[in-house]
């Protein structure tokens, strides 16, 4: 029996307690300073406020002031906070992380390094490791289509675990894989992280189509969604190749699978629908923040745009369109048409 500490008591952090405890492992679920209400509710034995389901009774929940206690004796630590929360949590974690204990991250996004260059979460973690932890440090990153609610309910799910350390990949897979939770392995860490970050941005495009239908500007958008989905995967492939990732990563669960599920359901799709129905970005952001549902895709478009610009990556018309729609208030219908068919007289950007 292993001891697994999960950082972040939100959707995915809480859901991961199910396969871990199904395998008989001890799980310590630590809530950040933003999760205090969740911790209090769960400790009373009530359903998780976001998932609307009760956690396995063997999961021990800790408030943010008890990080050291939650980490005591851990064989694996899981970062399950949002991408924007990763660095603040990492600053608290590293002084307590025992040397040699692997870190697994399910966060999906891009962050700005100390130099100002936008990069993957793994690159940011490596940059901030203290010298005492650098030797032998092992990181596993997770990607692929996994909705927390379905994972909690043991709906069959397949994901991908990536690490350059084969032993770390095998350990993480052994701890979490169950008959309901299948895990593929890859050494392509950066490729997987690119897929995981950018699929959140591109999923907003699918929601934009739903918003156009909702307001009557378009009658149906199945054809358009299919074209946008195809374009998104092509652009993710360009980005993966730029970081020397594997083509199989962009063609598998981390990109195709994850973009499909994120575009069909979730907060990224909802963000796109609201913006596509005519709401301004500021109005969408305010409403989703009030509901505690602001999506990763909103930041992913801005950070992804900067990532591509800093590396002079061309051939990303859909990403450029999403940036103009979300951050420049450009017309949704016009930008989506241009992303698929190109600007009149100019071809695609």
Encode pLDDT of 60-117 as tens digits.
999 999 999 999 999 999 999 999 899 999 999 998 888 899 999 999 999 999 999 9
Phi-psi region of 31 (alpha: psi -120 to 50; beta: other; left: phi over 0): beta
pLDDT digits (tens, 9 = 90+) for 295-318: 899 999 999 999 999 999 999 999
Cα distance between residue 259 and residue 171, in whole Å: 27
* DSSP element (H, E) containing 185: strand 181-186
Tell me which architecture the domain covering 3-187 has in CATH. 3-Layer(aba) Sandwich (3.40)
Contact status, residue 160 vs residue 252, Cβ threshold 8 Å: yes
Confidence band for 155, pLDDT divided at 50, 70 and 90: very high
Residue environment code for 78-87, b if the CB has 16+ CB neighbours within 10 A, otherwise e: bbbbbbebbb
pLDDT for position 347: 58
Tell me which architecture the domain covering 194-341 has in CATH. Orthogonal Bundle (1.10)
Half-sphere exposure of 182 (CA within 13 A, CB side): 7
pTM listed for this prediction: 0.94
Query: Residue 348 pLDDT > 60, yes or no?
Result: no
Phi-psi region of 116 (alpha: psi -120 to 50; beta: other; left: phi over 0): left
Give 266's contacts (C-beta < 8 A, 6+ positions apart): 147, 203, 295
Contact status, residue 194 vs residue 37, Cβ threshold 8 Å: no
Fold match between domain 3-187 and domain 194-341: no
Q: pLDDT above 90 covers what percent of the chain? A: 89
Q: Which residue ranges make up each domain of the chain?
A: 3-187, 194-341
């Amino acid at each position: 029996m292993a001891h697994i500490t999960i950082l972040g008591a939100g959707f995915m952090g809480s859901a991961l307690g199910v396969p871990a405890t199904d395998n008989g492992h001890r799980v310590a679920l630590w809530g950040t300073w933003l999760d205090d209400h969740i911790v209090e509710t769960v400790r009373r034995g009530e359903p998780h406020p976001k998932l609307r389901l009760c956690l396995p009774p063997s999961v021990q929940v800790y408030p943010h002031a008890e990080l050291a206690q939650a980490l005591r004796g851990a064989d694996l630590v899981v970062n399950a906070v949002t991408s924007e929360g990763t660095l603040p949590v990492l600053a608290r974690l590293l002084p307590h992380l025992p040397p040699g204990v692997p870190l697994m991250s399910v966060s999906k996004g891009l962050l700005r390094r100390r130099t100002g260059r936008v990069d993957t979460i793994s690159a940011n973690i490596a940059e901030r490791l203290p010298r005492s932890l650098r030797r032998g440090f092992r990181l596993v990153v997770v990607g692929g289509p996994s909705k927390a609610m379905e994972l909690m309910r043991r709906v069959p799910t397949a994901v991908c675990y990536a690490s350059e350390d084969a032993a770390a990949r095998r350990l993480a897979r052994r701890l979490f894989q169950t008959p309901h939770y299948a895990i593929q392995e890859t050494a392509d860490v950066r490729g997987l992280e690119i897929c995981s970050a950018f699929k959140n941005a591109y999923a907003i495009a699918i929601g934009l189509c739903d918003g156009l239908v909702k307001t009557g500007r378009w009658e149906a958008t199945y054809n358009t969604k299919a074209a946008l989905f195809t374009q998104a995967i092509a652009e993710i492939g360009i980005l993966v190749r730029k970081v020397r990732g594997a083509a199989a990563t962009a063609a598998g669960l981390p990109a195709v699978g994850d973009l499909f599920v994120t575009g069909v359901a979730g907060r990224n799709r909802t963000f796109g629908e609201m913006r596509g129905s005519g709401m301004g970005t500021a109005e969408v952001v305010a409403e989703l923040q009030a509901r505690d549902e602001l999506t990763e895709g909103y930041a992913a478009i801005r950070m992804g745009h900067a990532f591509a610009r800093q590396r002079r990556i061309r051939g990303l018309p859909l990403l450029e369109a999403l940036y103009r729609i979300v951050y420049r208030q450009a017309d949704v219908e016009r930008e989506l048409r241009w992303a698929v068919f190109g600007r009149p007289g100019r071809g695609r950007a």
